[in-house]
Structure 1
Amino acid sequence: MIVSRIEASRVEDTAADGPLAGRLLDGLPREAVLTDPDITASYAHDMASFCPAGTPAVVVLPRTVEHVQHIMRTATELDVPVVPQGARTGLSGAANATDGCIVLSLTKMDRILEISPVDRIAVVEPGVVNAALSRAVGEHGLYYPPDPSSWETCTIGGNIGTASGGLCCVKYGVTAEYVLGLDVVLADGRLMSTGRRTAKGVAGYDLTRLFVGSEGSLGIVVRAVLALRPKPPEQLVLAAEFASGAEACDAVCRIMAGGHTLLLELMDRTTVKAVNDLARMGLPESTEALLLAAFDTTDPVADLAAVGALCEVAGATQVVPAEDAAESELLLQARRMSLVALEAVKGTTMIDDVCVPCSRLGELIDGVERISEKYRLTIGVVAHAGDGNTHPTVCFDASDPEESRRARESFDEIMALGLELGGTITGEHGVGVLKKEWLAREIGPVGLEMQRAVKQVFDPRGILNPGKLF
C-alpha cells in the first residue's frame, strides 16, 4: 500500500530528527504523553471489525487548546501522521491508528463551558460525553436531541466527526443540525473559528458543516457551539408486532405518509431474540418484526392510538402501548442494546449502516433476508425506520476464515443493495476504513476528485487521519 510506505518513511524521518515523545513533552505535561507499548496498543482501534489498525508511536491526552496546537505543530514539523480519537465507540475504523502515528485522544478535554437557556446553546469541549451533556442541559429545562445508541459513552467530538444520528433523529434531526459553530486546530497548528452563536447566519461558506462528518481528516475540533431545544414531555412508546418485515415496513410508510413526527424503530426477530438472550427483556419472540413508536407530545395517548390504528391496517398481529414512562424507557433500552446483543450471538459482527428512502425500506429488508440465506449467516436487522437508516448486522465467527469471507461478501452485497435502492452506504456511522472503497462508488470520480481537493487545502501534507475516507 502507498499509504503504508509513506507512513513508514515518516517514522524513519522522525527517528532521524529526534525523539518524537521528547518534542511533544516540550509543550505537554508528562502525564499527557503515553509511550508504553502495552498502553498505546489499547488505543489502536475503535469498535469496528475487519478494519486494519497500525501501531501508534505515542498517545497524547491534551487538556487545552494550546496543547492541541503544540501537538499539531510538532506533527507538521516532523511530518508525523495524527489520528484524532474520542471514546472509540465508532463502527467504521475511522479512529484506527496508523503505524508510527500520534494518537490524539481528546477525552480529557471534557468541560461543558457554557449553557445558555436564553440563547438555547451549549458550548462544550470535544471530550464531553453525550449523555453527560444531555443531563446537564436537562437541569435547565433544555434538550440536546442527537442520541446515538452509545450515548452513555460516546463523546460530542466523535459525534461531530462522524455526523452521528440516533433514535430521536427522525423527529429532531442529526448532529449536523445542532452544530452552530466550531473552534478547530488545523494541521499546521493554527486555530480557526467557524460558524456562530446565533440561530441564523449565512456569512460565507458553511465551513462548520464541512467539518461535521469529516472524521478528523480536516482539523481537530476543540470547541463546539451546540443548539438546544426546550425539554419535551416524557415519551410514551407503543410496541407493534408483525408477522413479516414487509408488513412492518408498510406500517412505517403509512405512519410517515400520515404526517406523524415521532421516534420509529424496528427490530427483526433475530435481534429481538438476541436482546432477550442477553438481558432477559421479555420481548415477544413470536413476532417477525417489532416496531416501536414513541411520542413526546402533549397528548401522546391520542397520537399512539392513531399510529396503532395504522399498524393494525398494515397487518399488525398485536399493538400494545406502554403503561407509563418507565415501561417506555425499558422498551427503548432494549432497542439501544441491540448491537451489543447481536455481537454476543457469535462473538463478532460487521454492522452495516445503509440508509434508503422510507418508501424502499421493505425492499431492503427483503433483500437482506435473501443475502442471509445466500451466505448461510445470521444477519439481524435493526433500523431507525422513520428515516430509512438500517443496521443489518452480520454475525460470524472471526476464527473461521471461510465464515469470515462470507461475512465480508454479505456486508458488501448489502451496501450494493442500498445504493441500488437509491440510498447511501452510511447514514450515521461514517466511512472510516471499512467503507472507503464504497465511498468512491457512491459519489463517483468527480465527487471523489473534489473531496480530495478539499482535503488538500486543509491538510496539504496529508498528516490528518491518513488512509480514512479515500
Structure 2
Amino acid sequence: MEPARIVAGLRALVPADRVLDDRQVIQGYLQDQAEWAPYAQAATVVRPRSTEEVRAVVAFAAEHGVPVVPRGAGTGLSGGANAIEGCIILSFEAMNAVLEINESEPYAVVQPGVVNDDLRAACAERGLWYPPDPASAPWSTIGGNVATNAGGICCVKYGVTRDYVLALEVVTGRGDVVRVGRRTAKGVAGYDLCGLMVGSEGTLGVITEITVRLRPERPPERTIAGYFDSIVAAGRAVSAVSASGVIPSALELVDRHCLEAVDAWKNMGLSTEADVVLLGRCDANSDEDAGVIRRCFDEAGASWAAVSTDEQEAEALFDARRLAYPALERLGPVLTEDVCVPKAKVPEMLARIEKTAAVHDTLIANIAHAGDGNLHPLLITPIGDDAARRRAQAAFEDIISDAIELGGTVTGEHGVGLLKRDGLRREVSPLVLDLHRAIKNALDPLGILNPGKVFS
C-alpha cells in the first residue's frame, strides 16, 4: 500500500496532526540505538494520544495488511523498534501520563510513554518506590521497559520489570482492546497472558496501559568499592559474594576502558586507581552485609576495598557506571552485548571475553550487572573502519556462543530484536521455536505486529 494512501486512510480515523508525512521528521524514528541493526523506510509515524486512537490505527493496519512497529523512546539496543519497509510506526511519546498511584495496595497505572525516572519520582513523592532501573532510566519509557523486560542496577535483589507488572491494556493484532492480568495480590485464573506480553517486544500486542506493583521506600544504602588488577579477579569476587549468602542491592562491574572514557569526558579521575572497579550496595543489615562484601573483595584479591563513608563519593562512582555507555560512544560505534550466565560462571565468561577481544583484535570494554551474571561487553570500532566492524561482529557472535556454552542466555534485558535472532535459534530448540511461533500466530494471526523481530 502506498504511503500516501496509508497517511490519508489514517487521517480519516484519527486527528490529522497525529499522522506524520514529513520524510525528514520520519527519518528520526526509523531506528533505535542498536549499532548496525538494519532498518527500512516507514510509510508514516503515528503519535496517538489514547487507546482508542491506537485501536483505530491497528484495525486499519490489520484490514490493509500493513506492518505496525511500536516505539517508545528509541533507547533500545537490539533493533526491536527499527522500521520495516512500508510500516506504520506507533510512537507513544504523547501517551505519557501517570494515571493513578494507589498508596494502599500499592500500585501505579501509567501510559506506555511515561519515562522510567518520572514514574520513580512521582512514586517517591508518596513514599513509594518502583524498583526496575535500567541505565537508560532518565530517557527510556515504561512501555519500552515492558517490551524488553528491562532490569537494571538493583534487579540483583529486587527483580526485573516482569516482577512488577500486574496488568496491561493491550490492542491485539486484529485491533481489539483487551485487559490481561489483575490488580489483586494473588490470582491464577487462566494463563498468565500478562507475563507473556512482558518481554514480547511488540510482537504479540500493542500495550496502551500498564499497572505496576510498587514497594515502600527503601532504607538508605551503603556502598562498597573494590579495585582489582584484572577482570577475572573481579569475577572471582562476584562469585564469592554470591556464595556468601548476602544479596546486595547492587553489584556492578566497570573496567578500565569504561573508566578512561568517562574520565576523558567528565574528568572524574577514576582510571588512575584501578583496572577494574566493583561497586556493591546494601540496603538491609547494611553495616553487617557491607562488611561481608568487603571481605569477599579482599579475599578475591582486591588491591583496595572499603565501605564508603562519603555519600557524594559513592554516588560519583555509580554516576561513572551510568555514564560508561555514552562516554564510550564518543570513541566510535559501539556494538553492545547483553549476555547472562550463571553467577558461578562469571569469572570464566569474563576470561573468555578477554580472549575474544585478543583473537579478533577488537577493543571490548566491560560493564556488567555482575551480581546477577548479566554482562554487557561493549565492542568499539573506529568510525568508517569496515575491517574493524567485521571483526567486531565476529567477536559479537563468539561471545554469544560462549554464553550459551556456559549455560547462559543470549540476552538478559535488551531483547532479541534483530541482532540476536541467530543467537535465539542457537539457544532454544526447534521445537521450542515452534511453540513461540504458534503463540505469535494465535495472538497476531495476520502477522502485522513488529514482523521479522525476535524470530523469523
TM-score (norm 1): 0.95
Q: 1:447 aligns with which of 399, 416, 432?
A: 432
Q: Distance in 2 between matches of 1:188 and 1:106?
A: 19
Letter in 2 for 1:293: G
Sequence identity percentage? 44
Secondary structure of 2:416's aligned partner: coil
CA deviation string 1:204-237 (max 9, x = no partner): 1000111000000011000111001111122221
User: How much does 1:261 deviate?
Assistant: 1.4
Gaps of at least 5 residues in structure 2 are none
Contact 1:125 1:222 in 2 (8 A): yes
Contact 1:235 1:325 in 2 (8 A): no
User: 4+ residue stretches of structure 1 with deviation over 6 A?
Assistant: none
User: How much does 1:300 deviate?
Assistant: 2.4
User: How much does 1:284 deviate?
Assistant: 4.0
The residue correspondences of 1:399-438 to structure 2 (distance < 5 A) are 399-438=384-423
Secondary structure of 1:19's aligned partner: helix
* Residue 141 of structure 1 pairs with residue 127 of structure 2: yes
Letter in 2 for 1:227: R
Q: Distance in 2 between matches of 1:185 and 1:136?
A: 27
Secondary structure of 1:183's aligned partner: strand
Contact 1:375 1:406 in 2 (8 A): yes
User: Does 59-68 or 227-236 show the bigger shift?
Assistant: 227-236
User: How much does 1:312 deviate?
Assistant: 0.8
* Residue 305 of structure 1 pairs with residue 291 of structure 2: yes
Letter in 2 for 1:452: R
2:51 alignment partner in structure 1: 65
Q: 1:245 aligns with which of 231, 249, 254?
A: 231
Q: How many residue pairs end up in the alignment?
A: 454
CA deviation string 1:250-278 (max 9, x = no partner): 11111111111111001122122122122
Q: Distance in 2 between matches of 1:286 and 1:169?
A: 28
Q: Distance in 2 between matches of 1:118 and 1:325?
A: 32
User: How much does 1:285 deviate?
Assistant: 3.3
The residue correspondences of 1:89-238 to structure 2 (distance < 5 A) are 89-238=75-224
Gaps of at least 5 residues in structure 1 are 1-10
User: How much does 1:101 deviate?
Assistant: 0.5
Q: 1:24 aligns with which of 4, 7, 10?
A: 10
Q: Distance in 2 between matches of 1:323 and 1:380?
A: 29
Q: 2:252 aligns with which of 265, 274, 278?
A: 265
1:275 alignment partner in structure 2: 262
Letter in 2 for 1:232: R
The residue correspondences of 1:355-366 to structure 2 (distance < 5 A) are 355-366=340-351
Secondary structure of 1:53's aligned partner: coil
Q: Distance in 1 between matches of 2:107 and 2:155?
A: 18
* Residue 332 of structure 1 pairs with residue 334 of structure 2: no
Q: Distance in 2 between matches of 1:453 and 1:321?
A: 51
CA deviation string 1:160-190 (max 9, x = no partner): 0011010000010000000011010011110
Contact 1:236 1:324 in 2 (8 A): no
User: How much does 1:461 deviate?
Assistant: 1.2
1:3 alignment partner in structure 2: none
2:42 alignment partner in structure 1: 56
Q: Distance in 1 between matches of 2:330 and 2:19?
A: 35
Q: Distance in 1 between matches of 2:105 and 2:273?
A: 49
Contact 1:235 1:328 in 2 (8 A): no
Q: Distance in 1 between matches of 2:406 and 2:266?
A: 35
User: How much does 1:398 deviate?
Assistant: 4.3
Letter in 2 for 1:451: H
Q: Distance in 2 between matches of 1:361 and 1:79?
A: 45
Q: CA RMSD in A?
A: 1.2
Secondary structure of 2:330's aligned partner: helix
Secondary structure of 1:237's aligned partner: strand
CA deviation string 1:303-358 (max 9, x = no partner): 2222112211111110133223333222111111111122222x101100010001
2:71 alignment partner in structure 1: 85
User: How much does 1:302 deviate?
Assistant: 3.4
Contact 1:367 1:417 in 2 (8 A): yes
